[in-house]
Structures are given as structure tokens and as C-alpha cells.
């Protein structure tokens, strides 16, 4: 089922000492989720992503705008008539019911022509349990399950009535790191198998990047960028998106363009033919550094961190906004040995890989494209 959000706005009334007012949690949201896609709604806490989920579910009514499931306008429909499955952050499994009873619960609500016989219900519940691989736990109570198992039960309960849209609210935030990676693959597999259009909310960019077909990056109720994870990572629209995506985070420098050259401090690091003179922010992905003795950018060596496959060279630069400049360099390169042996405080030099360097307007923080025509 295709989901279309049309100029969706949600304002919450606030009453404080300054009197009444409105806070805009979601501001003229507009995007389309193609049928069968897995969408990651991504943003820092308080950016309105959970509000968007609640608007799609119908638990909240939008102040303005409309929501379509396929061709049907569902804006005014209550949640139970929309045919959605919702997985809550803390799962909200009914603690006094067994796993089986929890999964059966939505089916037992069906009325009229949708009503199922006992045997049909049981068969559906068992099928769904098998899909999420909890078929051995049907007679347990939620309290007797691990976090990951509870998560699967919650997904099964949301899926059992064949929803048109599956909504997941921070589905992995209550799991430990190892389980999180395992469960997100699990969510991906289940979504692929059922082909149900899925929206999931997270503040963890890695989570969103790893399993989403499309990510929607939000900030303060406004969509910053929509695209395939790699696209958004490779070509962020603005400084916020650039900073929000990627671990380790992007390195940001204060720089300026003079005579078609880009300067960081006093170092001319790149050609910038199409860019007019002015002050800019320069974002450089950690993998955008090449360590060379003749490199354009000069930094002071701090330390080297070895992280298995890669090493990360931590250095300092006066123009950097991050406390440290972090460059990730593959261990296969010969330079690594020299780098690792460079004493603390000594000068090291980098060349920058142009496609890993992004320029942003100092005032608007919008992207300025380096090459003619942009990407």
C-alpha cells in the first residue's frame, strides 16, 4: 500500500507563563512512501518523527494536511479503521496474557464479515509466530521473554491482522548493541517476506541507514532530506544532514573561498571553480582524507586509534569545529606505518578526496556544490 503525506502539519497547544501558544511539531510534511518500501524516519529526539508516526497511525489528528493510503483518504479515519500495525517502543505487550493470547488479541476484535473461526485465528497466529521465529514460546508470558523475543512478539501482534502499513516506533532502542544489529536484520527479513509498507522511527542513523529503502531526515518538524541511505550520505543537502549521518561523524572546518580556491586556515586544499568568494563551512568525511607528506592540509598529530580493519588518525586543526579531526585510513596503505610512528604534536599532512568534501553556506548552512551542475 502506497502512503502519501500531503502538507502534514501538527501543532500542539502550549500553556506556560507567557500565555497560550502553539508549538509546531511537524511542519508541512510532504512525501510519498512507495508500496512495499521500508522507510526510516530519522532525526534527533524532539524532531517530530514520533509525531509523524502517530499521525500515520491515526492516534493523533493532523492540524492541517491529508494522509492517503493508496487512493483512499484516511485523514479522518480512526486508527482501528486504517488497517495499521503499530509496534511500540516498549512493546506494550499485555503482561497478563500469554504470547499466543497477545498475538490472537487483534484477531479476536474482528467483527462482521472479517470475523474468523477459532481454528482460523489459531492458524494465523501460528503462521505469524513462525514468521518471526517465536513459535516455541507461545505459552510463555511476556515477562518470561528476553527483550528481543518480546520485540518479535510485538511485531507478530502487529502483523497478524495483515496490516496495510506497519509502523515501528524506536523498535530497537530497548535492546543491547548485539541484539540490536541482529533484530534490525530480522525486521528487514520480515518486511521483505511480507512486503508490507513499513515506516520506522529512530534516532540512530546507523540503524536507519542499514535497513531502510529510503530515509527521511527530520529536524524540528521539517524534512531536511529524503533519499536512499547511500545517496543521502554521499550528498547531504545541508550541514545538519551531513553532521547527523555517519559514524564517526563528519569533520567540519571553518573555511573560505578566495579566487576559486578553497582554504582551510591558510592551506589551499581544493579547487572550487564554480563557487563565488565567501565564508563557508567545509565538511570532510573521515574517509575523505589521504595521508601524504606533500598533502595540502596541515594538522597536528594527536594519537592513532587502531580499530581492526581501519586505523583512525586523530589530529588537531585550528579551523576545525570538532574538538578533533578524525581521519580513517585503511591499514593496507604503506603510509600507515609512518603515520603510526609520527610523534604527538608533529605536523601531518592530508590531501582531501573531492567527492568526500562538502561546502555549506556559512549563514544558511545549505550545500554549495563544488562541481559545475552539482551532483
Partner 1 sequence: MRHKGFGGSLKGWLYLLPALLFLGVFMVYPLIDVFVYSFEEGYNSASQTYFGVGTYNYAYVLRDPYFLQAVKNTFLLVVVTVPLSTGIALLISVGLHSIKPLRNFLQTVYFLPYVTNTLAVGMVFMILFKKTAYSDGLINLLVTRLGGNSVDFIDGPYWAKMFVLCFYTIWVVMPFKILILTSALASVDPVYYRAAQVDGTSKLRTFMRITLPMIAPMIFYLVITGFIGAFKAYSDVVALFGTNLNAAGMNTIVGYVYDMLYGDSGGYPSYASAAAIILFAIVFTITCINLLVSGRRLRR
Which one, 88 or 369, has the nearer CB to partner 1? 88
CA distance 232 to 210: 13
In the list 61, 90, 230, 333, the residue contacting partner 1 (rule: CB under 8 A) is 90
- Interaction of residue 12 with partner 1, rule CB under 8 A: no
Which one, 10 or 219, has the nearer CB to partner 1? 10
- Which range touches partner 1 (CB under 8 A), out of 85-93, 131-139, 243-251, 282-290? 85-93
Which one, 31 or 105, has the nearer CB to partner 1? 105
Which one, 25 or 232, has the nearer CB to partner 1? 25
CA distance 299 to 287: 16
- Which range touches partner 1 (CB under 8 A), out of 26-34, 79-87, 120-128, 188-196? 79-87
User: What are the distances in angstroms from CA 353 to CA 310, 356, 372?
Assistant: 17, 6, 17
Let me know if 326 is exposed, middle or buried by CB neighbors in 10 A (0-12, 13-18, 19+): buried
- Interaction of residue 367 with partner 1, rule CB under 8 A: no
Neighbours of 159 (CB within 10 A): 23
- Interaction of residue 84 with partner 1, rule CB under 8 A: yes
188 CA to centre of own chain: 14
Least Cα distance to 89 among 158, 2, 1, 182 occurs for 158
Shortest distance, position 139 Cβ to partner 1, whole Å: 12
Phi then psi for 144, rounded to 5 degrees? -90, 5
- Is-contact 30 7, C-beta < 8 A? yes
Contact letters for partner 1, residues 195-224 (x by CB under 8 A): ------------------------------
- Interface with partner 1 (CB under 8 A), residue total 23
Cell digits for 281?
563551512
Shortest distance, position 121 Cβ to partner 1, whole Å: 13
Give the sign of the dihedral formed by CA 69, CA 81, CA 65, CA 12. negative
In the list 30, 96, 118, 292, the residue contacting partner 1 (rule: CB under 8 A) is 96
What is the DSSP secondary-structure string of 190-256? HHHHH--EEEEEES-HHHHHHH-SEEEEEETTEEEEEE-HHHHHHS-SBHHHHHHSSSSPPEEEEEE
- Is-contact 178 151, C-beta < 8 A? no
- Which range touches partner 1 (CB under 8 A), out of 51-59, 273-281, 301-309, 355-363? 51-59
Shortest distance, position 364 Cβ to partner 1, whole Å: 39
- Interaction of residue 13 with partner 1, rule CB under 8 A: no
Which one, 90 or 247, has the nearer CB to partner 1? 90
In the list 33, 67, 86, 282, the residue contacting partner 1 (rule: CB under 8 A) is 86
Shortest distance, position 149 Cβ to partner 1, whole Å: 18
- Interaction of residue 61 with partner 1, rule CB under 8 A: no
Chain residues 141-200 in contact with partner 1, contact rule CB under 8 A:
157, 161
- Interaction of residue 110 with partner 1, rule CB under 8 A: yes
**Residue whose C-alpha cell is 513462525:** 130
CA distance 275 to 262: 9
- Is-contact 264 357, C-beta < 8 A? no
Shortest distance, position 169 Cβ to partner 1, whole Å: 10
Least Cα distance to 279 among 255, 246, 261 occurs for 255
- H-state helical runs in 28-136: 49-57, 79-82, 99-108, 118-131
- Interaction of residue 79 with partner 1, rule CB under 8 A: yes
Shortest distance, position 54 Cβ to partner 1, whole Å: 9
Shortest distance, position 82 Cβ to partner 1, whole Å: 9
- Which range touches partner 1 (CB under 8 A), out of 74-82, 122-130, 255-263, 269-277? 74-82
Least Cα distance to 354 among 297, 294, 288 occurs for 288
Residues contributing to the site for partner 1 (CB under 8 A): 57-59, 78-81, 84-86, 88, 90, 92, 94-97, 105-106, 109-110, 157, 161
Amino acid at each position: 500500500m502506497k502512503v502519501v503525506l500531503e502538507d502534514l502539519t501538527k501543532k500542539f497547544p502550549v500553556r506556560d507563563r507567557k500565555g497560550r501558544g502553539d508549538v509546531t511539531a511537524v511542519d508541512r510534511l510532504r512525501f510519498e512512501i512507495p508500496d512495499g518500501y521500508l522507510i526510516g524516519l530519522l532525526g534527533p529526539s524532539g524532531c517530530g518523527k514520533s509525531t509523524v508516526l502517530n499521525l500515520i497511525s491515526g492516534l493523533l489528528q493532523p492540524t492541517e494536511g491529508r494522509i492517503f493510503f493508496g487512493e483512499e483518504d484516511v485523514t479522518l479515519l480512526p486508527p482501528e479503521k486504517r488497517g495499521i500495525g503499530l509496534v511500540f517502543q516498549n512493546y506494550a505487550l499485555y503482561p497478563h496474557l500469554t504470547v499466543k493470547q497477545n498475538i490472537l488479541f487483534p484477531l479476536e476484535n474482528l467483527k462482521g464479515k472479517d470475523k474468523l473461526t477459532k481454528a482460523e485465528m489459531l492458524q494465523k497466529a501460528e503462521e505469524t509466530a513462525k514468521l518471526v521465529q517465536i513459535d516455541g514460546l507461545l505459552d510463555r508470558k511476556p515477562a518470561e521473554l528476553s527483550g528481543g523475543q518480546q520485540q518479535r512478539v510485538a511485531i507478530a501482534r502487529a502483523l497478524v491482522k495483515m496490516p496495510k502499513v506497519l509502523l515501528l516506533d524506536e523498535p530497537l532502542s530497548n535492546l543491547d548493541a548485539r541484539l540490536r544489529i541482529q533484530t534490525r536484520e530480522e525486521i528487514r527479513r520480515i518486511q521483505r517476506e511480507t512486503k508490507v509498507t513499513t515506516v520506522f522511527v529512530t534516532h540512530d542513523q546507523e540503524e536507519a541507514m542499514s535497513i531502510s529503502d529510503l530515509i527521511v531526515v527530520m529536524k524540528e518538524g521539517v524534512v531536511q532530506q529524503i533519499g536512499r541511505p547511500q545517496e543521502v550520505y554521499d550528498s547531504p543537502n545541508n550541514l545538519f544532514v551531513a553532521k547527523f549521518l555517519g559514524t564517526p561523524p563528519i569533520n567540519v572546518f571553518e573555511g573560505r573561498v578566495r579566487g576559486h580556491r578553497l582554504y582551510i586556515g591558510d592551506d589551499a586544499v581544493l579547487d572550487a571553480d564554480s563557487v563565488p568568494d565567501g565564508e563557508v563551512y567545509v565538511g570532510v568525511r573521515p574517509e575523505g582524507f589521504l595521508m601524504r607528506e606533500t598533502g595540502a592540509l596541515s594538522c597536528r598529530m594527536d594519537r592513532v586509534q587502531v580499530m581492526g580493519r581501519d586505523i583512525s588518525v586523530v589530529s588537531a586543526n585550528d579551523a576545525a569545529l570538532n574538538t578533533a579531526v578524525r581521519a580513517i585510513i585503511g591499514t593496507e596503505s604503506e603510509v600507515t606505518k609512518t603515520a603510526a610512528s609520527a610523534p604527538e604534536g608533529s605536523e601531518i599532512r592530508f590531501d582531501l578526496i573531492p567527492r568526500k568534501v562538502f561546502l555549506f553556506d556559512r549563514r544558511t548552512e545549505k550545500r554549495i556544490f563544488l562541481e559545475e551542475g552539482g551532483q
